[in-house]
Structure 1
């Protein structure tokens, strides 16, 4: 007998894609779903339709959604995002020879702005999906802000809770400008698009927003054309500490003004927890999950940990401080405090993920006092990113954390609801899903109101 080759790690275990799109109603629940929760919990992630992909980041996007109403889990459904890549195959140029910004997997995040629900990936336009009652997460199509967007859109836009504006950027390309900053108003109209001068195409996954500033992270994970052209290659980026690392600050009230750059120690950051202005506006505080290096084949992998950066706009310096030494990722706050001094932040830990037994937990940091609380899942149960669902109208007040949890012992997944203020307590509710939810990236609680 011929021995079959083992599947790649990103196609094995709970990284493996699921083959079916399902719709199920009246899901079984252990515990009690808070009756205040009426809306959708949606999470996006890669799920290659042909069950093959050269890298975890490249699989076609699939959104998994659970509908909550009046203390019931009324339905579950999962749907591929029907991008042009999904329907026509991977391509770089459209039929007219132009760069095809509709081509991409739309597999990284799902957000709502100005009445639209958007599935995002940083290499292309977003795709709108339909979450209206009676609809089943169907793909509406690519969204280019009425023809005004001419770059890709980051998977991590920021909504200002005060103005309702959506701030985002696009990066990439073989020629300058490698970075463009965008802003859409509360109605969804794109009102600002300006290039930002950076010396090379670096992998810029996230950025930061405060009440007065936008902060870009220009870090030394640099595009490598040779790797991009290699057949069957993986991520076309490599660690290059000689490039340097810096933070770029732009005033929100002068979106076409100068960007001030502040050097920091070489590192990499996929995700920021939050950022805010401090003092009289002469300091900016950022919390990030920081890697000492990334995509460095000659260096042993080291996980991200929580750090604080404090930018002194007068002195032109950055103070860098590690907050904790436990590995973590997927940092989140109450989104109603994005860009404000949020007291609490939440991260996910999954030590050993993809490399053996997993110890999974959700961790809550009190960023004011330094206190730490965690919910430790039983062995073999692994959480993903946890989205915050508020319990009332008070920003920073009580609420719940919602996350998909994979159980390696049963091969099943649940939607788990935890009380954010009593995180160590048993789950408020565990909603049992009709099929496994593969490990994925980001999602949101989208209330009806």
Structure 2
């Protein structure tokens, strides 16, 4: 589907001001300090990615996931902090910019016009989901195809990146995991054909693919994320299957071809990190997840996983509605803990640890794949409607079950929290989030002490233009 532009006479939530018009790029610019000061030990770059253009001409995209990706870079250097914001110059973006209208199909839309148009314009790599910072380039990630390489400083698009091993159109997901000890990067993709395949990758710290494997699947699933837990990679495959025929015939979008089938249950695949071979397969109760917080192997030899868990796939309908500003579908999620026996794949125990609407759980980059005391995540304030976007960030303590959360004030919306280690003090960390103030129609970068999210930010930086709420980011230390 393709939606028309929203009716300006309809009532829109205040956060929709960030999406009402295509975001405006800005060149490298010194950022003004609105309050506090940048910590002296915060040296490096924050990168964030997300859909920034949801319309072109009179046409509007069919789903939030369809928007053209734009990357924000915030460089914390002496003597000043600079910001830059640029669209990823994908081939689809350039073709549609020249035509002045939407042309391509995407996650939640088919190409406009007659069937021959749909045959001509295939799916667009929107490069809009996440980023991976390497030593010499930044990768803009979109899970349906290859990454796009960008300049680390200027964010100029260099072109598609095959990592010395990806075939054309081969999928490389938006959720790579980096081993904090070795620097190795693990990722995956899903291949659709007569039989679905889970494509597994191990890359070195430069991003070059060193090892691959293809694991047969018994359905055509959508897999968005996975978890690294000690010596294992773990995939939880929700009972969501693709009906490929309407997609192949260009009659329906990818999203409209997905079927929720709870009777199939959730499949659990445990993969050996060294060999990329399957250790165990099993099935569990049905649920859906977009994102995992972390995983590790406990003293009893069980895999422990934290996940933002949904009871069903209604979250997809909510995310589709975000593109119009008319969010009517409540899709609550909670932070759950899961215990899995790696040798059998059997789910031993699962329960909620935080019964609050939440998303984007993450840990400090030094703790990925290992036991971590704290999970940082996006939250809806307790009095916020369940059809609102996330409007605060918090830290959950797994030892005490205590949650602390930031008070952003009214009509402010925060992106996923990003943890940045302090260069001078290894025990100190900072949480960075981009905040949209809908009353002022402005975006800011807020920096919090990671241990005191419930205190005022230590610094607020003004951005030259609105940066819409997006999906994922990363921190790259100098």
Confirm or deny a common fold (TM above 0.5).
Answer: yes
The higher-RCO structure (CA 8 Å, 6+ apart) is 2
Residue of structure 2 in register with 1:112 after alignment:
133
Q: Deviations over 1:12-50 (max 9, x none)?
A: 432334343212522221111112222221110012374
2:198 maps to 1:197: no
| C-alpha contact (below 8 Å) 2:23/2:53 kept by paired residues | no
Residue of structure 2 in register with 1:80 after alignment:
87
Q: Deviations over 1:208-263 (max 9, x none)?
A: 112200101211122233664336785542322123212110112332x3341132
- C-alpha change, 1:310 and 1:362, in structure 2 (3 Å) is same
| C-alpha contact (below 8 Å) 2:418/2:475 kept by paired residues | yes
| C-alpha contact (below 8 Å) 1:18/1:436 kept by paired residues | no
Shift of 1:163: 1.5
What SS does structure 2 have at the residue aligned with 1:323? strand
2:452 maps to 1:434: no
* Structure 1 Cα separation of the partners of residues 386 and 442 of structure 2: 17
Root-mean-square deviation over aligned CA pairs: 3.0
Residue of structure 2 in register with 1:253 after alignment:
274
1:169 paired residue among 188, 194, 200: 188
Residue of structure 2 in register with 1:305 after alignment:
334
Shift of 1:347: 0.5
- C-alpha change, 1:353 and 1:271, in structure 2 (3 Å) is farther
| C-alpha contact (below 8 Å) 1:304/1:329 kept by paired residues | yes
Residue of structure 2 in register with 1:138 after alignment:
156
Residue of structure 1 in register with 2:429 after alignment:
399
2:17 maps to 1:13: yes
* Structure 1 Cα separation of the partners of residues 274 and 422 of structure 2: 33
| C-alpha contact (below 8 Å) 2:221/2:241 kept by paired residues | yes
Residue of structure 2 in register with 1:336 after alignment:
366
Shift of 1:368: 2.5
What SS does structure 1 have at the residue aligned with 2:290? strand
2:56 maps to 1:36: no
2:387 maps to 1:387: no
| C-alpha contact (below 8 Å) 1:83/1:141 kept by paired residues | yes
What SS does structure 1 have at the residue aligned with 2:354? coil
| C-alpha contact (below 8 Å) 2:23/2:466 kept by paired residues | no
Q: How many residues align?
A: 432
Residue of structure 2 in register with 1:123 after alignment:
144
Residue of structure 1 in register with 2:111 after alignment:
none
Worse-matched range after superposition: 53-62 or 175-184:
175-184
2:280 maps to 1:272: no
* Structure 2 Cα separation of the partners of residues 87 and 201 of structure 1: 31
| C-alpha contact (below 8 Å) 2:391/2:408 kept by paired residues | yes
| C-alpha contact (below 8 Å) 2:165/2:209 kept by paired residues | no
Mark the runs of 5 or more structure 2 residues left unpaired by the alignment: 97-103, 107-119, 319-327
* Structure 2 Cα separation of the partners of residues 366 and 193 of structure 1: 36
TM-score normalised by the chain length of structure 1? 0.88
Worse-matched range after superposition: 370-379 or 80-89:
80-89
Shift of 1:71: 6.2
* Structure 1 Cα separation of the partners of residues 272 and 218 of structure 2: 21
* Structure 2 Cα separation of the partners of residues 314 and 267 of structure 1: 22
Mark the runs of 5 or more structure 1 residues left unpaired by the alignment: 93-98
| C-alpha contact (below 8 Å) 2:36/2:459 kept by paired residues | yes
Worse-matched range after superposition: 230-239 or 147-156:
230-239
- C-alpha change, 1:354 and 1:47, in structure 2 (3 Å) is farther
Q: Deviations over 1:293-348 (max 9, x none)?
A: 01487996431110000112356333111011110011111112110111111011
